[in-house]
Amino acid sequence: MPAMTMIQALNSALDVKLGSDPDALIFGEDVGYFGGVFRVTEGLQKKYGARRCFDSPISEGGIVATAIGMGAYGLRPIVEIQFADYILPAYDQLVSEAARLRYRSNGEFWCPITVRSPYGGGIFGGQTHSQSPEAIFAHVTGLKTVIPSNPYDAKGLLLAAIEEDDPVIFLEPKRLYNGPFDGHHDQPLVTWAEHPLGEVPQGHYTVPLGTARVMREGREATVLAYGTMVHVCNAAIAEAGIDAELIDLRSIVPLDIETVIASVRKTGRCVIVHEASRYGGFGGELSALVQERCFYHLRAPIERVAGWDTPYPHAFEWDYFPGPDRVAKALKRCVEAVA
C-alpha cells in the first residue's frame, strides 16, 4: 500500500466518493480552483468539474444551510469550513435544522451532509485558528462527531461519514496533516511515511463510526484520547515507563463505550486527555461515563489533562498545549494513588 499524508488520504476519500456517487459534491471557501487552504481538495475541480467541486462565498451559515437543502432533496454534500474556529456562524443551522430534520419531518426528510473542518493547535495559529470545539457538537442530539488521528483512519472514517444518512461533523487535526506529532515541538519532524498507519489503500474502504482502536495494550492504566493527543499520549506512556493501555476513540459521537469499559475494568485506572479547554470539555462526559460504569473497579481518581480555560495563546502555545510531560505526570499520579 502507498504511504500517504493525512491530506492525501482525505483527498483520496473525496476522490473515491465523487467518482462512485454522482450525488456527492463538495463546496466551501477556496475548495475549488485553489484546492483548499490545506490542499485537501486539490485537483478535484479539475477532475470532476465546477458543478461537483466549487467555491462558496465567505458565509459559514450559508454554506451549511445550502448543504442542508441539498441533502433534503437527495444530494450528498461534503462542505468544508476553512477552520473550525469559524464554524460558529453555522451553529444555528447545524443545531436547529441539520440535527433535527429527520425528527421534525417524522422521517420524511433527512440530512446526509458531512461538514469537514481542520481543528486544534500546535501550528501557532493563535486564538482564531487553534480551537477545539468538539464538545459543543457532541452535546447536540442528531449530530455525529468524528476525529481521526492518522491517514488510514482519516480516509476510512471520512468515507463512512459521507455514507451516513445523518449529519456528521468531521474534525481534522491540522497538526497531523503532514505527520504524527508527539508534542515535542523542539525535535525533528516525522513524516507519515515512517508510520505504519500512513499506509493507505487506494480504493474504497470504511472505518465504522463508533469503533475505538486500542493503540497500545497495557495493564496499569487506561488512557483515553483522540486526534493529536493520541500521539502525545503514546509518547507520554513511553517516557513515564508505565504499562498503560491507550485507546484512540476515533469518534466521540457515537462513542465506543464498550471498549472503554472493558479497558478500565481491566486496569482500574483512567486518564483522559484532550486539547480543548478542560471546563465543559468532552473529558468531563467521558469521566462521568467511566465513573458510572466502572465505579467498583476504579482504584484511583480519574485524571484529566486538557487545555487551560483561556483563549488559545499565540505567545504561550506550548504552555497551553497538553504535552507529554503533563500527561506523564497525570499518569504517574494515577498509578501511584492509593485507593
Does a structural domain hold residue 247? Answer: yes
Does a structural domain hold residue 1? Answer: no
Q: Identify whether residues 184 and 292 lie together within a single domain.
A: no
Q: Identify whether residues 259 and 163 lie together within a single domain.
A: no
The overall pTM is greater than 0.95: yes
Q: Identify whether residues 67 and 142 lie together within a single domain.
A: yes
Q: Domains in the chain: how many in total?
A: 2
Tens digit of each residue's pLDDT, the chain (339 residues): 889 999 999 999 999 999 999 999 999 999 999 999 999 999 999 999 999 999 999 999 999 999 999 999 999 999 999 999 999 999 999 999 999 999 999 999 999 999 999 999 999 998 899 999 999 999 999 999 999 999 999 999 999 999 999 999 999 999 999 999 999 999 999 999 989 999 999 999 999 999 999 999 999 999 999 999 999 999 999 999 999 999 999 999 999 999 999 999 999 999 999 999 999 999 999 999 999 999 999 999 999 999 999 999 999 999 999 999 999 999 999 999 876
Q: Identify whether residues 251 and 175 lie together within a single domain.
A: no
The answer to whether 322 touches 306, Cβ cutoff 8 Å, is yes
Backbone φ, ψ for residue 76 (5° rounding) = -130, 80
Question: What pLDDT is attached to residue 131?
Answer: 95
Domain range for 17: 6-198
Q: Identify whether residues 236 and 157 lie together within a single domain.
A: no
Could you list the beta-strand ranges (E) of the chain: 24-28, 53-55, 76-80, 114-119, 144-146, 168-173, 213-216, 221-225, 244-248, 251-253, 270-277, 303-307
Question: What pLDDT is attached to residue 1?
Answer: 80
Active site residues: 60, 129
Coil, helix or strand at residue 132: coil
Does a structural domain hold residue 108? Answer: yes
Does a structural domain hold residue 206? Answer: no
Does a structural domain hold residue 172? Answer: yes
Does a structural domain hold residue 205? Answer: no
Q: Identify whether residues 184 and 254 lie together within a single domain.
A: no
Of 51, 52, 50, 113, nearest to 81 by C-alpha is 113
Task: Give the DSSP per-residue string, 43-94.
Answer: THHHHH-TTTEEE--S-HHHHHHHHHHHHHTT-EEEEE-SSGGG-GGGHHII
Does a structural domain hold residue 207? Answer: no
Q: Identify whether residues 265 and 128 lie together within a single domain.
A: no
Q: Identify whether residues 173 and 289 lie together within a single domain.
A: no
Q: Identify whether residues 317 and 241 lie together within a single domain.
A: yes
